[in-house]
Amino acid sequence: MLKFLAISPSPTGELHIGGARTALFNWLFARHNQGKFILRIEDTDVVRSREDFSKSAMDSLRWLGLDWNEGPGKEGDYGPYFQSQRLSIYQKYAGKLIEEKKAYLCYCTQEELEESNRKMRAKNELPRYDGRCRTLSPTQIVNLEEKGRLPSIRFRVPEGKLNFGGVSPIFSYKN
């Protein structure tokens, strides 16, 4: 049974036609199936997110006649509705994934990842993450952090190919 559908615009610019279309379809589907339509603001990009873009997205949805059951201004069971206010929740579960070895810290810079992709393309390979941080030792992690490297979190995907019952395979890293 359908409980809810959500739209999560990023307030880094005006709501675009694709976001409006997705909101409309989700709103229609939720209403048709007696579900809830939830608005979340994806404001975790602290550099580019702006409050006026959040307000503009909400104004645009209202202009389209799309109301939300829960979201900014309409509290409910699924808040908080600004993603930046949910960081402690995400940190808790990210820590759990790392602890259970389902995820790991990656210290690669954007430049290193772009260089790796460039080399793969030069060899006519599909660009992908090469897994270089999958097996970092505690000493290596300390050294990277002492250099000021900030980690991202990557899911620990099994080596090889994954197949989801007829759906195109997803390729993992390979050594």
Among 87, 114, 139, give the residue marking a domain's end.
87
Q: Which of 59, 87, 115 is the last residue of a domain?
A: 87
Give me the number of domains the chain comprises.
2
Q: Which domain, by its residues, includes 36?
A: 4-87
- Each residue of 51-103: pLDDT tens digit? 999 999 999 999 999 999 999 999 999 999 999 999 999 999 999 999 999 99
Task: Give the three-class secondary structure for 111.
Answer: helix
Contacts of 125 (CB under 8 A, 6+ apart): none
* Same structural domain, 142 and 113: yes
* 24 located within any domain: yes
Report the distance separating Cα 156 and Cα 154, nearest Å. Answer: 6
User: Binning pLDDT at 50, 70 and 90, where does residue 175 land?
Assistant: very low
**Residue 170 pLDDT:** 53
Q: Phi/psi zone of residue 25: left (φ > 0), alpha (ψ -120 to 50 degrees), beta?
A: alpha
Strand partners, 161: 171
Q: What is the CATH number of the domain that holds 131?
A: 3.90.800.10
Specify if 95 maps to a domain.
Answer: no
Q: In this structure, are 11 and 62 located in the same domain?
A: yes
Note whether residue 94 is domain-resident. no
Please tell me whether residue 171 adopts helix, strand or coil conformation: strand
Taking only the tens place, the pLDDT of each residue in 144-174 is 999 999 999 999 988 777 666 665 555 555 5
Burial class (CB in 10 A: 0-12, 13-18, 19+), 78: middle
Task: Give me the pLDDT at residue 157, please.
Answer: 85
Structure tokens at 136: 């970092």
Q: Do 74 and 14 fall into the same domain? A: yes
Bond preceding residue 80 cis, omega within 30 of 0: yes
User: What does the pLDDT look like over 106-119, one tens digit per residue?
Assistant: 999 999 999 999 99
Share of the chain above pLDDT 90, in %: 84
| pLDDT value of position 162 | 67
3-state secondary structure 36-96: EEEECECCCCCCCCCHHHHHHHHHHHHHCCCCCCEECCECCCCCCCEHHHHHHHHHHHHHH
Span 20-35, average pLDDT: 96
